[in-house]
Structure 1
Amino acid sequence: MNPVLEAKGLGKRYGRRRALTDCDLSVPQGRVVGLVGPNGAGKSTLLQLACGLIQPTWGSIDVLGSRPGTSATQLAKVGFVAQDTPVYATLSVADHLRMGARLNPGWDEQFARRGISRSGLDLDQKAGRLSGGQRAQLALTIAAAKRPELLIFDEPAAALDPLARHGFLETLMESVADLGASAILSSHALSDVERVCDYLIVLADSRVQVAGEVTQLLQSHHRLAGERSRLATLPHGLEAVHAEHTNRASSVIVRSGGAPPPGPWKIEDIDLETLVLAYMTRAGLPAAHTAPMTEEATR
């Protein structure tokens, strides 16, 4: 089975600015992927490349086994909801469904009608008079009713209040389940990612910092806390992600193949927020200042 998204050495440049650098990814099908990172990290660039809206400057990207946007068949496999959840203000909800049916050969009218009914939308209401949450629901319904194999969401809930965000995420998960599709959700809200995603990609400084199944990432990362002198050098097999120091004590986020070995430190599990912040912080620091050295590195 082809990965839902595979990138090799992928990069995108706008003038002199690198928006994405040497991106290597292989995302399995059937996952709900959370894409997180600070503003300017390259999240929207990666999603636009995945949709075929822009082309790479170097490297390659395949989505569902082929280059994005190269054929009508490939385009039909991907549904995209942009950050501003674009709808046409002067068209009614019903007009949007009719337009979706004309533009998409795989359009599922019953699926679309169920989505509209479930969201409580009025078919006769103009899209320009809908609330932000209602516009997001309409955009999601249109993207899902083409029955894609992959749904891509670029910060679709960024401007929604908590109640509207909750409703949107609920509809998102129901749509993914109904379609049996994969999904990629870009979001600044880690609570949203934690709620609906089982795969994580952290982008920072235009590079992929870490990627993998959420459960496995949490199992392979821990915090070591103890005297600073005892944490100055870590055993072989532990990758130091980020460290915080006081005069005498240190706290180090480490990645390992399993549980860290016992030593003169306290071992603690970490949550998703701690993991994400550790990689984002590391991306913003000079390499020499990010964490202690391993024993292998000192040899």
Structure 2
Amino acid sequence: MSEPVPALVTAGVTHAFGDRPALQDCSFTVPAGSVTALVGRNGAGKTTLLRAAAGLLRPQRGHLAVFGDRVGDASLPCIGYAGQQAPLYRTLTVAQTLRLGARLNPRWDAPYARRLADAAQLPPAAKVGTLAPGHRARLALIMALGKRPGLLLLDEPLAHLDPVARTEAVGMLMADVAEHGTTVVLSSHVVADIEGVCDHVVVLADGRVRLAADVEQALGAHHVAVGGAGDLGALDGAEIVESQPDGPGFTALVRIAEPVLAGRLSWHRPTLEELLLGYLRAPGIPSLQEVPVR
């Protein structure tokens, strides 16, 4: 049986704004049907990468493919995109916005979009410009979902939502994934937004891919070592992602599937937060992609 076509492939994607690099030789694959977290600090290149994947920006070098086709006009109907600023026509009402979605998108599912808007308690007659930022964010997400995309690209979609609305929005996303197998790439710098939701992760730091892997495989291929100052030598030869002072000792994230039983080190499997913070705080570490479990 042949391997399924990846939902998104980035190959050597590089882009700069003037003399400021935004993306540097970014290469990774997003499996079809996955929910992939795109994680990075502010300015890491997440928005630039998502805009390139959505066909809104042409990278200066490299290319992107969606379900096997180069990103371009032919791929746009199967891509849903919601940007940080919820770009909507502020003078239109909610109902008019949904009707516009139907006119512009050949795969638009009007009953589905209307159900989502009702569930979000968006008044049909309210103008978009009068909506609270959280409600505008929900409407932008509904517009992306209403296209029935194969690939859904979301740039910080939960940033303007309160805790209850966040939970509802995540539930809406997961229901869509379960029912239709939609592939989701979700940008965030808040680990709580993605924990328990995403099965793949891509970490960007300084415009470069530092980690791209299945979440469970990545967690299984790392351990956290805790020890006193004199125990650091027990890690000689090990691939240390990051080490932090911890009182009189240290805590280190190590690329290792089985702990080293030496010295007085104690070990534990990292949490997703420990894994991601380790790579975000150590952008110089060589990148790790499609982590094998040994």
Residue 21 of structure 2 corresponds to residue 18 of structure 1: yes
Distance 2:231 2:175 in 1: 49
Corresponding position of 2:115: 114
Matches within 5 A, 1:38-77: 38-68=41-71, 70-71=72-73, 73-77=74-78
After superposition, the C-alpha distances for 1:261-284 in whole angstroms (9 at most, x for unaligned) are: 32222111221111111111111x
After superposition, the C-alpha distances for 1:117-143 in whole angstroms (9 at most, x for unaligned) are: 222222222212222222122111111
Corresponding position of 1:98: 99
Corresponding position of 2:135: 134
Match of 2:7 among 4, 7, 11: 4
Shift of 1:170: 2.0
Matches within 5 A, 1:128-277: 128-232=129-233, 234=235, 238-245=238-245, 249-256=249-256, 258-264=257-263, 265-277=265-277
User: CA 1:143/1:247 → structure 2, altered by over 3 Å: closer, same or farther?
Assistant: closer
**Is this contact kept in 2: 1:136–1:168, CA < 8 A?**
no
Q: Secondary structure at the match of 1:59?
A: strand
Distance 2:130 2:40 in 1: 32
- TM-score, normalized by length of structure 2? 0.89
Distance 1:165 1:246 in 2: 34
Q: Secondary structure at the match of 1:195?
A: coil
Structure 1, unaligned runs of 5 or more: 288-299
Shift of 1:34: 0.9
Q: Secondary structure at the match of 2:281?
A: helix
Q: Secondary structure at the match of 2:276?
A: helix
Distance 1:115 1:250 in 2: 48
Corresponding position of 2:278: 278
Shift of 1:246: 6.6
Shift of 1:11: 0.9
User: CA 1:94/1:59 → structure 2, altered by over 3 Å: closer, same or farther?
Assistant: same
Distance 2:172 2:135 in 1: 12
After superposition, the C-alpha distances for 1:4-57 in whole angstroms (9 at most, x for unaligned) are: 111222211111111011112012111111111111101001101111111111
**Is this contact kept in 2: 1:93–1:127, CA < 8 A?**
yes
Q: Secondary structure at the match of 2:115?
A: helix
**Is this contact kept in 1: 2:116–2:142, CA < 8 A?**
yes
Shift of 1:187: 1.2
Distance 2:179 2:92 in 1: 27
Alignment size in residue pairs: 281
Shift of 1:168: 2.0
CA RMSD of aligned residues (A): 1.9
Corresponding position of 2:292: none
**Is this contact kept in 1: 2:94–2:127, CA < 8 A?**
yes
Distance 2:6 2:270 in 1: 29
State the one-letter code of the partner of 2:167.
H
Distance 2:127 2:251 in 1: 55
Residue 31 of structure 2 corresponds to residue 32 of structure 1: no
State the one-letter code of the partner of 2:137.
A
Distance 2:142 2:274 in 1: 34
User: CA 1:222/1:94 → structure 2, altered by over 3 Å: closer, same or farther?
Assistant: same
Range moving further from structure 2, 144-153 or 225-234: 225-234
Distance 1:172 1:77 in 2: 16
User: CA 1:232/1:248 → structure 2, altered by over 3 Å: closer, same or farther?
Assistant: farther
Q: Secondary structure at the match of 2:69?
A: coil
